[in-house]
Amino acid sequence: MKTYERLKQLREEKGLTQNEIAQSLDIDRSVYNKIETNVRPIRENELITIADFFSVSTDYLLGRTSQKYDISDLQKEKDIAKQIENTINQVTNDTDLNFYGRSINYEERKFLETVLKMSLRLSKEEFKN
Q: Output DSSP code: residue 96.
A: S
pLDDT in tens, 43-90: 999 999 999 888 888 988 998 887 776 555 555 667 788 888 888 888
Q: Which residues pair with 103 in a beta bridge?
A: 98
Which among 73, 51, 53, 77 is positioned nearest to 62, based on CA atoms?
Answer: 51
| Amino acid letter for position 118 | M
pTM listed for this prediction: 0.55
Distance CA 58, CA 53 (A): 11
| Amino acid letter for position 30 | S
Domains of the chain by residue range: 3-61, 71-128
Give 116's pLDDT tier (boundaries 50, 70, 90): very high
Which among 61, 41, 43, 63 is positioned nearest to 53, based on CA atoms?
Answer: 61
CATH classification number, 3-61, choose in 2.40.170.20, 1.10.357.10, 3.40.640.10, 1.10.260.40: 1.10.260.40
